[in-house]
Structure formats: C-alpha cells, structure tokens
Structure 1
Amino acid sequence: MAALDGTNKPFKGILLIVFATMLFASHDALSKYLTGFYPVLLVIWVRYVAHTLLMFGLFVPNTGLRVLRTRNLKLQVLRACSLLGTSLFFITSLQYIPLAEATSVNFLAPLMVTALSVPLLGERVSRGQWVAVLVGFCGVLIIVHPGGELFTPAILLPLCSATCFCAYQILTRKLSGLDSPTTSNFYAGIISSIIMSALVPFFWQTPTWYHALMMVALGGFGMTAHLLMTQAFRYAAPALLAPFGYCQIVFAGLLGFILFNHVPEPATLLGISVICLSGLAAAWLQKRVKVSG
C-alpha cells in the first residue's frame, strides 16, 4: 500500500511515528504527575482547551473557518466523545496503575478494532487474526494474574480506555473518506473542550503557574503527536508504520522507571510482550489479507 500522497519515504515516516509515540508517552507521564496534585477533570480540561487554541492559531489564519466544515457532524461528535472517554479512563487509571502496564493494556484497542471490523466496517478477518486477538487478551490475563500487583478492580480503567479508543479508531476510519484529519482533530478538541468546560467548575482547583504551564504543554504534546502521525502516513504505508506504534510502550516503560522508579515484575513484562507480539501479528496478517484481496 502506497503512502497517502504517493511519496514513498519510509525512513522519514518511521522517524515521525517514533517521535509521535515518544510525545504520547511523555503526555501520559506528565498527566500521571499532574494528577498527583489536581483533579483529573481539570488536567484534561486544560489539555483539550490548549489543543483547540493551538489548532486555531496554526490553521485558521491560513484556511479560515473552512477547516470546520464536516460532512458528518454526528460521527465527529461520537469520535470526539470516544477520545474524551479514552482520556478520562486512561489518565484516571494512572493514579492506580504504573505507566507501562496501563499503556500496554490500552494497546488492546487495535486488536479490538480487528475483532469489530467485520460487523462494523465490513472488512475481512482471517483465522490467524482471530488467533492474534485471543492471544492479545491472554496477554492481559498474564499481566493481571491472581496474586499480582495489578489484580485489582483498577485494571478495568485501562480496559475501558481501550474500548473507547477502539471506538475512536473505528470512527476515524469511517470519517477518513469524508473529512480531513485536520478537521477531525479540530472537532475532537472543540467538542471535548465544551464538555469538560461544563464539568470542570465542580472540580476547580487553581494550579500554580508552573503546573499550569505543564497542563498547557499537555495540549501541545497531544496536538503535535497527532499531526506527526498524520504526516507519517504521507510518507509510508500504514502496514509498515504499525509495528513502530508499539514504541510507545517502550517509552512509557522508560519514563515510568526514570520519573516514578517503577520496574515491572517478570510476569508483567511477559504479558506486555504477548500483547505487543499479538498486535504486530494482527497488523502483518491484515496486510496479507489486503494484498490477497
């Protein structure tokens, strides 16, 4: 499959996707730090408001309000709510679960997309892909094994996050032929900002200027990472870039160790490896299905 604009520069695409995953992991690490001082809803509200204002500053001067034209407002609202649900569940989970473990469970989303792509997207899924999905869920069971440090109800939070992220990815696919990625990113920020603005007064806590700058940086990290991912797919095919998305788990593990002094136990490392390998296998098998089709 060719790059989106016909330009085949795989190395540049790989560099962009790896840098994007580093920013996503940094966003999550910073969120984990800030929610140790402030309510989750406040942190997420500043993140999306900053995201939206930065998008306006970057794109509206050149394109005007044309960037807000959408062919399916209902899907854009559902997509934004799915992304907001991902943020709420995932960042809340970081208060109870280490960064690498929560990130790895959240990476069940691509496997869930594989499972749901048949009824919702009408795509073909091979027997091997179904096996990869089942193996991925076995990886979660290894991480959450009885007697382990993560055998608590809190593990349901990243599982809910993965479910929301699955819905977000499916809706992104449905909108890809209707609206530009920039338009979709605008709506994700605007709608999330509106919803959180209605809720945040009930959880308000005035941050210090230093922490306020960190919250604004969250918006910058998130927006930049999404834009880098969009650019990466202009230079290389999704099937080539998919494996490098799992670099986010590696970066999450490194940041968890550096910032929070957390080292996963051996069973957890095994479970993370199983999830990563099953996700890579599903991506590779999906490429084979498309080629044979």
Structure 2
Amino acid sequence: MDQEDQCYSLNGAAISRDRPLRGIAFMLAALAFFSCSDAASKLMTTALPAVEVAWLRFCVFTLLILGTAGFTGQMQALRSRRPVLQTLRALGVLGSSIFFIMGLAFLPMAEATAVSFISPMIVTALSIPVLGEVVGWRRWSAVVVGLIGVLIIVRPGAGAFDTAAIFPLLSAASWAVALVVTRKMSGSDSPLVSLTFAAVVGLLVTSIIVPFVWVTPGWRELGLALITGVASTIAQWLVVLAFQQARASVLAPFSYSQLVWSGLLGYVIFGNVPDRWTQVGAGVIIASGLYTAHRERTVRMSSALAK
C-alpha cells in the first residue's frame, strides 16, 4: 500500500481508502449539514452581528470537540507537531467562517455559496509561492475561467451588483489559505488536532472581538446557535470519515452538491430563487473547479510515475 492509498483516522492511525461509494455518501451528507449550518447562521444574522454568530458557533464546536477528545481519552493526542502552521490554518478557517456569515447576512445562500467555490482556483495561485508548485497554462486557464464565473454572478457595474459579494470572495480566499497550509503540513498532525486548533483558536479570537459588538441573544438565537454548531461539527466529522473511505480526487466533484442544498434551503426557508446569471456563473465556476481537480490529479500521477 503506497501513501496515495492511505489516509488517517481522527487519532492519526493510517487506514486504507478503498470504499469510494461510502466516502461519497459521507461527503454528500457532510455538505447537507454544512448547508443546514449556513441556513441557521443566516437566520441568526437578522438579530446578531456576524462575529457573534461565529462566536456562538465556535462555542458549540469547541465544547463538542474537546468533549469528544476527553470522552475518548485522546486529550494527550491533541499536541501539535506544527503549532505555528496549525494556528495559521485555524485563522484561515476563522476568516472563512466570519466572512461567509457576513455574506449570508446580505446575499441569498445559493449566490454566496457559488461565489465561494472560487477557492480551489485561489489554491492553485497560492501553491506557487507557498508550496513551490509549477502551474501550467491549463490550470491558469481554469483560474481565469473561474474568475469569469464569479464576475457573471456578481456583475460589477450592473444595476444588480451587490458589494456584499466581496464577503464570500474573502471567505474563499481565507479557506484557500487554510487548504494550502494543510498541504504544507503534509499530514504531520491528526485530523482531530486540526479540528481542535480550528475550534479553540476561532473561539479565542472571536471572544476578544465579540464584547465590542455584543447583542444579547434571545432563545431563538441560542437555539439556532446550537443547530449551527452541532450541524457544523457533524459535517466536519463526516468529511473526515469521507476522506477515510475515498481519495480526494474521487470526492472533489461531489463538493459542488452543496450548491444544490444551498439553493433548496434558500428557497424553502427564505424564498430565494437563484436568477439566471447566478445559475450560469455557478456552472462556469463548477466546470472550472472540476477541471482544476482533474489537472491536479493528473499532475500528481505524473509526478508519482516519475519517481
């Protein structure tokens, strides 16, 4: 079994990835829970500032992660071999969360989600200076096409342009930083360590900011906070399970199913129907993302054969 056939469980033990259908099922379920978390967060933004929504989410996330680690006797396993990089990754996750919630406060769920799908293309751009990767014209073309898809959705200069579209773009950039740092660490820590750092750092940073924007939440907001925190934590756990069962190249195309969930929940809960431009732009971004995933898989396979 080579390294491409291995993944790691929450505690870092190597496991085989040979159940793609199960992995796909876990990934689809994870994205459904992420969308439920986003819907609850959007509902909360009608009464609370985005930072406070993120703080409440991180409160639940941290309690669940640390509670799980304590219950399973894995508290000692939470030490990181790369604490600086883990902290940087956690800040990327935090930025992604806050900016996306800010976007949800002003934009329909489907539109915010579609714009955020630009992150794989940003990863391609960041991989050159950070990881020293060589990016050919094909992947650069995919980046340009992805940006065109974003422009189709946000339509700068048009009457329908909403400046709030910058928030999901910033969210995508922050998430891309987190992904690049994750690659940089190259599996030096277990997924549980990464989840714990993301939860604790997110909670600490938002705890510093939230007193300046505090609005006392009602029972409705507290209930929604519980939903968004639990749904987000379950989604993170399901993603780990998905990658335990299947390769990233198998799972990547299914990440775009989140747009379906976001569109459905946006329609059922908020009455939002994605317009024609959002649908076209989302299609362009998805095509670009799928091609980027295909090219990265091709490059990895070529590198492996050359060794």
Using structure 1 for the length normalisation, give the TM-score: 0.95
Answering whether residue 124 of structure 2 is matched by residue 114 of structure 1, we say yes
1:65 to 66, 75, 89: 75
SS at match of 2:16: coil
**Cα deviation per residue 1:56-115 (whole Å; 9 max; x = unaligned)?**
111223234213201121111111111111111110111211111111111111111012
Q: Which amino acid aligns with 1:43?
A: V
Q: Residues 219, 176 of structure 1: CA spacing in aligned structure 2 closer, same or farther, 3 A cutoff?
A: farther
Q: 1:101 and 1:223, CA in 2 relative to 1: closer, same or farther beyond 3 A?
A: same
Q: What is the 5 A alignment of 1:4-23?
A: 4=7, 5-23=15-33
Q: Say if 1:99 and 1:119 are closer, same or farther in 2 by CA, change over 3 A.
A: same
Q: Which blocks of at least 5 consecutive residues in structure 1 are unaligned? A: none
In structure 2, what is the Cα distance between the partners aligned to 1:273 and 1:72?
38
Q: How many residues align?
A: 292
* Distance in structure 2 (CA, Å) of the matches to 1:64 and 1:230: 17
In structure 2, distance between residues paired with 1:169 and 1:63: 28
Q: Paired residue for 1:219?
A: 229
Instruction: Return the match for 2:50 from 40, 59, 67.
Output: 40
Post-superposition shift, 1:165? 0.8
1:198 aligns with 2:208: yes
Give the equivalent residue in structure 2 for 1:28: 38
| Residue among 224, 231, 249 paired with 1:239 | 249
Cα distance in structure 2, aligned partners of 1:176 and 1:182: 15
What CA distance in whole angstroms lies between the structure 2 residues aligned with 1:272 and 1:64?
Answer: 41
Q: Which moved more, 1:36-45 or 1:198-207?
A: 198-207
Partner of 1:167: 177
Contact 2:17 2:243 in 1 (8 A): no
Q: Identity, % of aligned pairs?
A: 40
Give the secondary structure class of the aligned counterpart of 1:253. helix
Q: Which residue of 1 aligns with 2:158?
A: 147
Name the SS of the counterpart of 1:63 in structure 2: coil
Question: Which consecutive aligned stretches of 4+ in structure 1 deviate over 4 angstroms post-superposition?
Answer: none
Are 1:85 and 2:95 counterparts? yes
**Contact 2:69–2:75 (Cα < 8 Å) also in 1:** no
- Using the TM superposition, name which of 179-188 and 138-147 deviates more: 138-147
Instruction: Give the Cα–Cα distance (whole angstroms) in 1 for the partners of residues 43 and 184 of structure 2.
Output: 35
Deviates further, 178-187 or 63-72: 63-72
RMSD: 1.4
Q: Establish whether residue 258 from structure 1 lines up as the match of residue 268 from structure 2.
A: yes
- List runs of 5+ in structure 2 lacking aligned partners: 8-14
Aligned residue number for residue 101 of structure 1: 111
CA distance in 2, matches of 1:20, 1:257: 20
Kept after mapping to 2: 8 A contact 1:125/1:289: no
